[in-house]
Amino acid sequence: MRTPRPLRAFVEVVLGRQRSPQHETGQFMVPYLRAANVKDGELDLSDVKFMNFGPAEQRLFGLRPGDVLVTEGSGSLATVGASATWAGDMSGTVCFQNTLIRLRPRSEATDQRFLAWWARYAFAAGVFARIASGANIFHISADRVRALQVTFPRLADQRAIANFLDTETSRIETLINKKRQVVSLLDEREASVVTHAFGDQLRRRSSDLTKGIGDAMTPPLGRVALVQSGLTLDAARDPGDSPVTLPYLRVANVQAGRLDLAELKEVTVSSRMAARCQLRPGDVLMTEGGDVDKLGRGAVWPGEIEPCLHQNHIFAVRPDREKLRSDYLSALLQTSYAKSYFEMTATKTTGIASTSASKIAAFRVPLLPVAEQKSIVQQIKSANGRLDNLRSRLTAQIELLREHRSALITAAVTSQLTQVRTDL
Protein backbone atom coordinates (compact mmCIF):
# COMPACT_ATOMS: atom_id res chain seq x y z
CA MET A 1 0.00 0.00 0.00
CA ARG A 2 1.35 3.40 -1.01
CA THR A 3 1.83 5.98 1.75
CA PRO A 4 -0.35 9.11 1.62
CA ARG A 5 1.55 12.26 0.70
CA PRO A 6 0.64 15.95 0.39
CA LEU A 7 -0.89 16.86 -2.95
CA ARG A 8 2.03 19.23 -3.58
CA ALA A 9 4.25 16.15 -4.04
CA PHE A 10 2.27 15.28 -7.16
CA VAL A 11 1.08 18.69 -8.32
CA GLU A 12 2.28 22.27 -8.51
CA VAL A 13 -0.41 24.40 -6.82
CA VAL A 14 -0.55 28.11 -7.65
CA LEU A 15 -3.13 30.78 -6.78
CA GLY A 16 -3.90 33.27 -9.54
CA ARG A 17 -2.99 36.97 -9.62
CA GLN A 18 -5.23 39.38 -7.71
CA ARG A 19 -7.30 41.79 -9.74
CA SER A 20 -6.81 45.48 -8.94
CA PRO A 21 -7.45 48.84 -10.67
CA GLN A 22 -3.76 49.30 -11.46
CA HIS A 23 -3.85 46.22 -13.68
CA GLU A 24 -6.93 47.23 -15.71
CA THR A 25 -4.78 49.02 -18.30
CA GLY A 26 -1.20 48.63 -19.40
CA GLN A 27 1.25 47.57 -22.07
CA PHE A 28 0.71 43.84 -21.66
CA MET A 29 -3.06 43.27 -21.75
CA VAL A 30 -3.88 39.57 -22.04
CA PRO A 31 -7.03 37.51 -21.47
CA TYR A 32 -7.44 35.88 -18.08
CA LEU A 33 -9.81 33.32 -16.61
CA ARG A 34 -11.77 33.68 -13.38
CA ALA A 35 -14.17 31.54 -11.36
CA ALA A 36 -17.11 32.48 -13.61
CA ASN A 37 -15.36 30.73 -16.52
CA VAL A 38 -15.02 27.37 -14.72
CA LYS A 39 -17.89 24.91 -14.50
CA ASP A 40 -17.76 21.29 -13.35
CA GLY A 41 -15.75 19.63 -16.09
CA GLU A 42 -15.90 22.41 -18.67
CA LEU A 43 -14.81 25.95 -19.40
CA ASP A 44 -17.24 28.72 -20.34
CA LEU A 45 -15.27 31.14 -22.52
CA SER A 46 -18.23 33.25 -23.63
CA ASP A 47 -17.10 36.13 -21.39
CA VAL A 48 -13.32 36.37 -21.00
CA LYS A 49 -11.89 39.60 -19.59
CA PHE A 50 -8.48 41.23 -20.05
CA MET A 51 -5.89 42.45 -17.53
CA ASN A 52 -2.29 43.69 -17.65
CA PHE A 53 0.24 40.93 -16.91
CA GLY A 54 3.92 41.82 -17.29
CA PRO A 55 6.31 39.35 -18.98
CA ALA A 56 7.42 37.82 -15.65
CA GLU A 57 3.79 37.52 -14.51
CA GLN A 58 2.85 35.88 -17.79
CA ARG A 59 5.48 33.23 -17.16
CA LEU A 60 4.15 32.68 -13.63
CA PHE A 61 0.42 32.84 -14.33
CA GLY A 62 0.30 31.73 -17.96
CA LEU A 63 -1.70 28.57 -18.65
CA ARG A 64 -0.44 25.44 -20.40
CA PRO A 65 -2.56 22.66 -21.94
CA GLY A 66 -3.25 20.12 -19.21
CA ASP A 67 -3.45 22.65 -16.38
CA VAL A 68 -6.45 22.03 -14.11
CA LEU A 69 -8.26 25.13 -12.86
CA VAL A 70 -10.15 24.87 -9.54
CA THR A 71 -12.52 27.53 -8.20
CA GLU A 72 -10.95 28.85 -5.00
CA GLY A 73 -14.03 30.51 -3.53
CA SER A 74 -17.79 30.43 -3.83
CA GLY A 75 -20.91 31.59 -2.04
CA SER A 76 -21.99 27.95 -1.77
CA LEU A 77 -20.20 24.84 -0.49
CA ALA A 78 -21.96 22.97 -3.29
CA THR A 79 -20.00 24.86 -5.96
CA VAL A 80 -16.61 25.58 -4.35
CA GLY A 81 -13.84 23.47 -5.90
CA ALA A 82 -15.42 22.96 -9.32
CA SER A 83 -12.72 22.30 -11.89
CA ALA A 84 -12.01 22.19 -15.61
CA THR A 85 -8.93 21.54 -17.74
CA TRP A 86 -7.27 24.14 -19.92
CA ALA A 87 -6.70 22.66 -23.38
CA GLY A 88 -5.26 25.71 -25.12
CA ASP A 89 -8.74 26.80 -26.18
CA MET A 90 -7.53 30.33 -27.03
CA SER A 91 -4.41 31.33 -28.94
CA GLY A 92 -1.65 33.30 -27.30
CA THR A 93 -0.98 33.80 -23.61
CA VAL A 94 -3.92 33.32 -21.24
CA CYS A 95 -3.53 33.89 -17.48
CA PHE A 96 -5.77 33.36 -14.45
CA GLN A 97 -7.11 35.37 -11.51
CA ASN A 98 -6.91 34.59 -7.78
CA THR A 99 -10.47 33.27 -7.78
CA LEU A 100 -8.87 30.19 -9.33
CA ILE A 101 -6.17 27.76 -8.26
CA ARG A 102 -4.04 26.12 -10.93
CA LEU A 103 -3.04 22.48 -10.54
CA ARG A 104 -0.14 21.58 -12.83
CA PRO A 105 0.93 17.92 -12.77
CA ARG A 106 4.51 17.04 -12.00
CA SER A 107 5.34 14.93 -15.06
CA GLU A 108 7.44 12.42 -13.15
CA ALA A 109 4.60 11.64 -10.70
CA THR A 110 1.24 12.57 -12.21
CA ASP A 111 -0.61 12.01 -15.49
CA GLN A 112 -2.44 15.21 -16.50
CA ARG A 113 -5.62 13.39 -17.52
CA PHE A 114 -5.72 11.47 -14.24
CA LEU A 115 -5.26 14.74 -12.36
CA ALA A 116 -8.27 16.20 -14.17
CA TRP A 117 -10.40 13.19 -13.18
CA TRP A 118 -9.10 13.33 -9.60
CA ALA A 119 -10.12 16.98 -9.35
CA ARG A 120 -13.62 16.11 -10.65
CA TYR A 121 -13.81 13.38 -7.99
CA ALA A 122 -12.56 15.71 -5.23
CA PHE A 123 -15.28 18.22 -6.09
CA ALA A 124 -18.12 15.69 -6.33
CA ALA A 125 -17.08 13.84 -3.17
CA GLY A 126 -16.82 17.05 -1.13
CA VAL A 127 -13.06 16.83 -0.59
CA PHE A 128 -12.63 20.50 -1.46
CA ALA A 129 -15.78 21.52 0.40
CA ARG A 130 -14.45 19.93 3.60
CA ILE A 131 -11.35 22.13 3.63
CA ALA A 132 -13.29 25.32 2.82
CA SER A 133 -13.66 28.05 5.40
CA GLY A 134 -15.64 31.27 5.57
CA ALA A 135 -19.14 32.57 6.19
CA ASN A 136 -20.79 34.21 3.17
CA ILE A 137 -17.96 33.21 0.82
CA PHE A 138 -16.21 29.86 1.26
CA HIS A 139 -12.49 29.63 0.37
CA ILE A 140 -10.37 26.50 0.04
CA SER A 141 -6.98 28.35 -0.16
CA ALA A 142 -3.93 27.20 -2.07
CA ASP A 143 -2.13 26.23 1.16
CA ARG A 144 -4.91 23.86 2.24
CA VAL A 145 -5.05 22.33 -1.24
CA ARG A 146 -1.28 21.77 -1.22
CA ALA A 147 -1.55 20.03 2.16
CA LEU A 148 -4.32 17.60 1.16
CA GLN A 149 -3.13 14.09 1.94
CA VAL A 150 -3.61 11.82 -1.09
CA THR A 151 -2.46 8.49 -2.43
CA PHE A 152 -1.96 8.52 -6.20
CA PRO A 153 -1.34 5.24 -8.02
CA ARG A 154 1.68 4.57 -10.21
CA LEU A 155 1.85 6.48 -13.49
CA ALA A 156 0.93 3.44 -15.56
CA ASP A 157 -2.17 2.87 -13.43
CA GLN A 158 -3.07 6.56 -13.61
CA ARG A 159 -3.02 6.38 -17.41
CA ALA A 160 -5.12 3.22 -17.43
CA ILE A 161 -7.72 4.85 -15.17
CA ALA A 162 -7.74 7.98 -17.35
CA ASN A 163 -8.18 5.88 -20.51
CA PHE A 164 -11.11 4.03 -18.94
CA LEU A 165 -12.83 7.22 -17.77
CA ASP A 166 -12.23 9.02 -21.07
CA THR A 167 -14.05 6.21 -22.90
CA GLU A 168 -16.89 5.53 -20.48
CA THR A 169 -17.77 9.12 -19.65
CA SER A 170 -17.74 9.97 -23.36
CA ARG A 171 -20.46 7.37 -23.89
CA ILE A 172 -22.50 8.80 -21.04
CA GLU A 173 -22.05 12.35 -22.32
CA THR A 174 -23.27 11.26 -25.77
CA LEU A 175 -26.45 9.88 -24.20
CA ILE A 176 -26.95 13.06 -22.16
CA ASN A 177 -26.53 15.25 -25.26
CA LYS A 178 -29.04 13.21 -27.24
CA LYS A 179 -31.62 13.60 -24.48
CA ARG A 180 -30.88 17.32 -24.25
CA GLN A 181 -31.53 17.62 -27.98
CA VAL A 182 -34.94 16.02 -27.51
CA VAL A 183 -35.68 18.45 -24.66
CA SER A 184 -34.76 21.35 -26.98
CA LEU A 185 -37.14 20.00 -29.61
CA LEU A 186 -39.87 19.82 -26.98
CA ASP A 187 -39.18 23.45 -26.02
CA GLU A 188 -39.52 24.48 -29.67
CA ARG A 189 -42.74 22.51 -29.99
CA GLU A 190 -44.11 24.11 -26.84
CA ALA A 191 -43.29 27.58 -28.15
CA SER A 192 -45.11 26.84 -31.40
CA VAL A 193 -48.15 25.61 -29.46
CA VAL A 194 -48.25 28.91 -27.54
CA THR A 195 -47.93 31.05 -30.67
CA HIS A 196 -50.57 29.00 -32.50
CA ALA A 197 -53.02 29.41 -29.62
CA PHE A 198 -52.86 33.21 -30.03
CA GLY A 199 -53.53 33.03 -33.77
CA ASP A 200 -51.45 33.60 -36.87
CA GLN A 201 -51.77 37.35 -36.68
CA LEU A 202 -49.37 37.42 -33.73
CA ARG A 203 -46.64 36.23 -36.07
CA ARG A 204 -46.55 39.70 -37.56
CA ARG A 205 -43.77 41.91 -36.30
CA SER A 206 -44.86 44.32 -33.60
CA SER A 207 -43.80 47.30 -35.72
CA ASP A 208 -46.62 46.43 -38.14
CA LEU A 209 -49.27 46.70 -35.41
CA THR A 210 -51.35 49.81 -35.06
CA LYS A 211 -54.41 49.85 -32.86
CA GLY A 212 -55.50 46.27 -32.88
CA ILE A 213 -55.09 42.65 -33.92
CA GLY A 214 -58.31 41.44 -35.45
CA ASP A 215 -61.04 42.26 -32.96
CA ALA A 216 -58.63 42.76 -30.07
CA MET A 217 -57.47 46.17 -28.97
CA THR A 218 -53.78 46.44 -28.12
CA PRO A 219 -53.20 49.03 -25.39
CA PRO A 220 -49.70 49.55 -23.97
CA LEU A 221 -49.05 47.18 -21.09
CA GLY A 222 -48.53 50.16 -18.80
CA ARG A 223 -52.22 51.03 -19.08
CA VAL A 224 -53.40 47.68 -17.73
CA ALA A 225 -50.52 46.77 -15.38
CA LEU A 226 -48.02 48.27 -12.95
CA VAL A 227 -44.35 47.74 -13.84
CA GLN A 228 -42.35 47.48 -10.60
CA SER A 229 -38.55 47.76 -10.53
CA GLY A 230 -36.46 45.65 -8.16
CA LEU A 231 -33.69 46.36 -5.68
CA THR A 232 -30.10 47.14 -6.57
CA LEU A 233 -27.64 45.01 -4.62
CA ASP A 234 -25.20 47.23 -2.77
CA ALA A 235 -23.17 45.80 0.09
CA ALA A 236 -22.19 49.32 1.19
CA ARG A 237 -25.77 50.53 1.58
CA ASP A 238 -26.86 51.24 5.15
CA PRO A 239 -30.05 49.20 5.80
CA GLY A 240 -31.17 51.70 8.43
CA ASP A 241 -32.63 51.18 11.89
CA SER A 242 -35.09 48.43 10.96
CA PRO A 243 -33.26 46.06 8.60
CA VAL A 244 -34.80 42.82 7.37
CA THR A 245 -33.12 39.83 5.74
CA LEU A 246 -35.28 38.27 3.04
CA PRO A 247 -34.93 35.98 0.03
CA TYR A 248 -34.89 37.58 -3.41
CA LEU A 249 -35.21 36.43 -7.01
CA ARG A 250 -32.51 37.02 -9.61
CA VAL A 251 -32.34 36.31 -13.34
CA ALA A 252 -31.26 32.69 -12.82
CA ASN A 253 -34.56 32.01 -11.04
CA VAL A 254 -36.76 33.21 -13.92
CA GLN A 255 -37.16 31.00 -16.98
CA ALA A 256 -39.60 31.20 -19.88
CA GLY A 257 -42.97 30.37 -18.38
CA ARG A 258 -41.56 28.85 -15.19
CA LEU A 259 -39.49 29.53 -12.08
CA ASP A 260 -36.40 27.74 -10.81
CA LEU A 261 -36.35 28.16 -7.03
CA ALA A 262 -33.71 25.51 -6.30
CA GLU A 263 -31.29 28.17 -5.07
CA LEU A 264 -32.54 31.40 -3.50
CA LYS A 265 -30.18 34.02 -2.14
CA GLU A 266 -30.92 36.46 0.70
CA VAL A 267 -30.29 40.17 1.13
CA THR A 268 -30.48 42.58 4.07
CA VAL A 269 -32.29 45.82 3.27
CA SER A 270 -34.37 48.46 5.02
CA SER A 271 -38.01 47.69 5.74
CA ARG A 272 -38.98 50.51 3.39
CA MET A 273 -36.94 49.05 0.52
CA ALA A 274 -38.35 45.59 1.22
CA ALA A 275 -41.91 46.91 1.00
CA ARG A 276 -41.15 48.63 -2.32
CA CYS A 277 -39.60 45.54 -3.93
CA GLN A 278 -41.84 42.84 -2.45
CA LEU A 279 -43.54 40.41 -4.81
CA ARG A 280 -47.24 39.67 -4.76
CA PRO A 281 -48.98 36.51 -5.97
CA GLY A 282 -49.88 36.92 -9.64
CA ASP A 283 -46.95 39.20 -10.50
CA VAL A 284 -45.48 38.37 -13.90
CA LEU A 285 -41.68 38.36 -13.62
CA MET A 286 -39.78 39.66 -16.65
CA THR A 287 -36.02 39.64 -17.12
CA GLU A 288 -34.25 42.92 -17.84
CA GLY A 289 -31.14 41.66 -19.62
CA GLY A 290 -29.21 38.73 -21.06
CA ASP A 291 -29.19 36.96 -24.42
CA VAL A 292 -31.47 38.76 -26.85
CA ASP A 293 -33.58 35.63 -27.48
CA LYS A 294 -34.28 35.34 -23.74
CA LEU A 295 -35.03 39.01 -23.15
CA GLY A 296 -38.38 39.67 -21.47
CA ARG A 297 -39.05 36.03 -20.68
CA GLY A 298 -41.70 35.84 -17.99
CA ALA A 299 -43.25 33.59 -15.39
CA VAL A 300 -46.05 34.06 -12.87
CA TRP A 301 -45.07 34.41 -9.21
CA PRO A 302 -47.31 31.99 -7.24
CA GLY A 303 -46.52 33.52 -3.84
CA GLU A 304 -45.22 30.25 -2.39
CA ILE A 305 -42.47 32.10 -0.51
CA GLU A 306 -43.67 35.06 1.52
CA PRO A 307 -42.25 37.61 1.75
CA CYS A 308 -39.88 37.58 -1.22
CA LEU A 309 -38.14 40.41 -3.09
CA HIS A 310 -36.78 40.75 -6.62
CA GLN A 311 -33.51 42.12 -7.93
CA ASN A 312 -33.35 45.10 -10.30
CA HIS A 313 -32.57 42.80 -13.24
CA ILE A 314 -36.14 41.49 -12.93
CA PHE A 315 -39.30 43.54 -13.36
CA ALA A 316 -42.50 42.55 -11.56
CA VAL A 317 -45.50 43.32 -13.77
CA ARG A 318 -48.72 43.49 -11.73
CA PRO A 319 -51.78 43.24 -14.05
CA ASP A 320 -55.17 44.84 -13.42
CA ARG A 321 -56.96 41.53 -12.86
CA GLU A 322 -60.27 42.82 -14.16
CA LYS A 323 -58.66 43.40 -17.56
CA LEU A 324 -55.59 41.15 -17.85
CA ARG A 325 -54.87 37.65 -16.54
CA SER A 326 -51.34 36.97 -15.30
CA ASP A 327 -51.12 33.56 -16.97
CA TYR A 328 -52.36 35.06 -20.26
CA LEU A 329 -49.61 37.71 -20.16
CA SER A 330 -46.98 35.11 -19.25
CA ALA A 331 -48.02 32.97 -22.22
CA LEU A 332 -48.05 36.00 -24.53
CA LEU A 333 -44.42 36.74 -23.61
CA GLN A 334 -43.42 33.36 -25.05
CA THR A 335 -44.79 34.13 -28.53
CA SER A 336 -42.77 35.25 -31.54
CA TYR A 337 -44.81 38.47 -31.42
CA ALA A 338 -43.47 39.40 -27.98
CA LYS A 339 -39.95 38.19 -28.73
CA SER A 340 -39.77 40.29 -31.89
CA TYR A 341 -40.84 43.38 -29.94
CA PHE A 342 -38.19 42.98 -27.25
CA GLU A 343 -35.53 42.13 -29.82
CA MET A 344 -36.32 45.27 -31.83
CA THR A 345 -36.44 47.58 -28.83
CA ALA A 346 -33.49 46.10 -26.93
CA THR A 347 -30.41 48.10 -26.06
CA LYS A 348 -27.53 45.94 -27.26
CA THR A 349 -23.90 45.82 -26.27
CA THR A 350 -21.30 43.10 -26.88
CA GLY A 351 -23.05 39.81 -26.13
CA ILE A 352 -25.72 41.40 -23.92
CA ALA A 353 -29.14 42.90 -24.58
CA SER A 354 -31.36 44.79 -22.15
CA THR A 355 -34.79 46.32 -21.88
CA SER A 356 -36.30 48.86 -19.51
CA ALA A 357 -39.45 49.58 -17.51
CA SER A 358 -40.57 52.12 -20.13
CA LYS A 359 -40.17 49.64 -22.98
CA ILE A 360 -42.06 46.99 -21.06
CA ALA A 361 -44.82 49.49 -20.33
CA ALA A 362 -44.99 50.37 -24.05
CA PHE A 363 -45.41 46.72 -25.13
CA ARG A 364 -48.82 46.41 -26.78
CA VAL A 365 -51.03 43.67 -25.36
CA PRO A 366 -53.81 42.06 -27.44
CA LEU A 367 -56.51 42.68 -24.84
CA LEU A 368 -59.14 40.01 -25.40
CA PRO A 369 -62.08 39.63 -23.02
CA VAL A 370 -60.99 37.90 -19.80
CA ALA A 371 -63.05 34.80 -20.64
CA GLU A 372 -61.21 34.45 -23.96
CA GLN A 373 -57.87 34.98 -22.23
CA LYS A 374 -58.75 32.08 -19.90
CA SER A 375 -59.75 29.92 -22.87
CA ILE A 376 -56.40 30.51 -24.60
CA VAL A 377 -54.47 29.64 -21.43
CA GLN A 378 -56.46 26.42 -20.98
CA GLN A 379 -55.84 25.48 -24.61
CA ILE A 380 -52.10 25.92 -24.11
CA LYS A 381 -52.05 23.94 -20.87
CA SER A 382 -53.97 21.08 -22.45
CA ALA A 383 -51.70 20.90 -25.50
CA ASN A 384 -48.49 21.21 -23.49
CA GLY A 385 -49.43 18.80 -20.71
CA ARG A 386 -48.11 15.80 -22.64
CA LEU A 387 -44.96 17.69 -23.57
CA ASP A 388 -44.35 18.57 -19.92
CA ASN A 389 -44.65 14.92 -18.87
CA LEU A 390 -42.16 13.83 -21.51
CA ARG A 391 -39.78 16.64 -20.58
CA SER A 392 -39.94 15.62 -16.92
CA ARG A 393 -39.06 12.03 -17.77
CA LEU A 394 -36.13 13.12 -19.94
CA THR A 395 -34.88 15.51 -17.26
CA ALA A 396 -34.99 12.70 -14.68
CA GLN A 397 -33.06 10.41 -17.06
CA ILE A 398 -30.41 13.08 -17.61
CA GLU A 399 -30.00 13.49 -13.86
CA LEU A 400 -29.61 9.72 -13.42
CA LEU A 401 -26.93 9.67 -16.12
CA ARG A 402 -25.09 12.50 -14.37
CA GLU A 403 -25.22 10.63 -11.08
CA HIS A 404 -23.95 7.49 -12.80
CA ARG A 405 -21.08 9.46 -14.35
CA SER A 406 -20.12 10.90 -10.95
CA ALA A 407 -20.27 7.47 -9.32
CA LEU A 408 -18.15 6.01 -12.12
CA ILE A 409 -15.48 8.69 -11.67
CA THR A 410 -15.39 8.11 -7.93
CA ALA A 411 -15.20 4.33 -8.30
CA ALA A 412 -12.42 4.48 -10.87
CA VAL A 413 -10.30 7.03 -9.00
CA THR A 414 -10.74 5.58 -5.52
CA SER A 415 -10.01 2.02 -6.61
CA GLN A 416 -6.37 3.16 -6.49
CA LEU A 417 -6.78 6.22 -4.28
CA THR A 418 -6.91 4.35 -0.98
CA GLN A 419 -7.16 7.36 1.31
CA VAL A 420 -7.96 11.04 1.17
CA ARG A 421 -7.55 12.99 4.38
CA THR A 422 -8.39 16.59 5.18
CA ASP A 423 -7.05 16.65 8.75
CA LEU A 424 -4.39 19.21 7.91
In-domain check, residue 210: no
| 398-417 residue pLDDT tens | 999 999 999 899 989 987 44
Predicted pLDDT at 239: 66
Q: Based on the domain organization, do 27 and 119 belong to the same domain?
A: yes
Q: Is the peptide bond before 21 cis (omega within 30 degrees of 0)?
A: no
Predicted pLDDT at 381: 83
C-alpha 276/C-alpha 311 separation (Å) is: 11
- Binned at pLDDT 50, 70 and 90, residue 111 comes out as very high
C-alpha 254/C-alpha 338 separation (Å) is: 17
In-domain check, residue 47: yes
Q: Based on the domain organization, do 160 and 144 belong to the same domain?
A: no
Average pLDDT over residues 347-374: 84
Checking 174-179 for CB contacts under 8 A at 24+ apart, the result is 175/401, 176/398, 176/401, 176/402, 179/394, 179/397, 179/398, 179/401
- Assess whether pLDDT exceeds 50 at residue 282: yes
Q: Based on the domain organization, do 142 and 9 belong to the same domain?
A: yes
Q: What are φ and ψ of residue 29, in 5° steps?
A: -75, 120
In-domain check, residue 268: yes
Q: Based on the domain organization, do 26 and 111 belong to the same domain?
A: yes
Per cent of the chain over pLDDT 90 is 49
In 3D, which of 226, 220, 236 has the Cα closest to residue 362?
220
Predicted pLDDT at 104: 96
Average pLDDT over residues 95-122: 95
Lowest-pLDDT choice from 49-63, 142-156, 160-174, 295-309: 295-309
Predicted pLDDT at 1: 58
- Assess whether pLDDT exceeds 50 at residue 211: no
Q: What does R_g of the chain's alpha carbons equal in angstroms? A: 25
Lowest-pLDDT choice from 73-77, 224-228, 312-316: 73-77
- Binned at pLDDT 50, 70 and 90, residue 421 comes out as very low
Contact 259, 238 (CB under 8 A): no
Task: Give the H or E element holding residue 316.
Answer: strand 314-319
C-alpha 261/C-alpha 246 separation (Å) is: 14
Q: Based on the domain organization, do 316 and 388 belong to the same domain?
A: no
Q: Based on the domain organization, do 144 and 66 belong to the same domain?
A: yes
Average pLDDT over residues 312-337: 90
In-domain check, residue 206: no
| 28-86 residue pLDDT tens | 999 999 999 999 999 999 889 999 999 999 999 999 999 999 999 888 888 899 999 99
Please name the residues in contact with 313: beta carbons below 8 A apart, sequence gap of 6 or more.
Answer: 230, 250, 251, 287, 288, 289
Q: Based on the domain organization, do 107 and 225 belong to the same domain?
A: no
Q: Based on the domain organization, do 172 and 225 belong to the same domain?
A: no
In-domain check, residue 209: no
C-alpha 82/C-alpha 69 separation (Å) is: 8
CA torsion through residues 202, 207, 212, 216, sign = positive
Please name the residues in contact with 64: beta carbons below 8 A apart, sequence gap of 6 or more.
Answer: 86, 88, 104
Average pLDDT over residues 361-365: 90
Most confident range (mean pLDDT) of 219-228, 240-249, 297-306 is 219-228
CATH of the domain at 350: 3.90.220.20
Average pLDDT over residues 178-207: 71
- Binned at pLDDT 50, 70 and 90, residue 391 comes out as confident
- Binned at pLDDT 50, 70 and 90, residue 207 comes out as very low
In-domain check, residue 41: yes
Task: Please tell me what DSSP assigns to residue 2.
Answer: P
| 294-311 residue pLDDT tens | 676 778 998 888 899 998
C-alpha 173/C-alpha 181 separation (Å) is: 12
Q: Based on the domain organization, do 194 and 290 belong to the same domain?
A: no
Q: Based on the domain organization, do 350 and 379 belong to the same domain?
A: no
Task: Please tell me what DSSP assigns to residue 98.
Answer: T
Count the domains in the chain.
3
Predicted pLDDT at 237: 64
State which of 117, 133, 152 marks the end of a domain. Answer: 152
- Assess whether pLDDT exceeds 90 at residue 424: no
Where in the sequence is the domain holding 233, given as residue range(s)?
Answer: 219-365
In-domain check, residue 52: yes
Average pLDDT over residues 271-294: 85
Predicted pLDDT at 205: 38
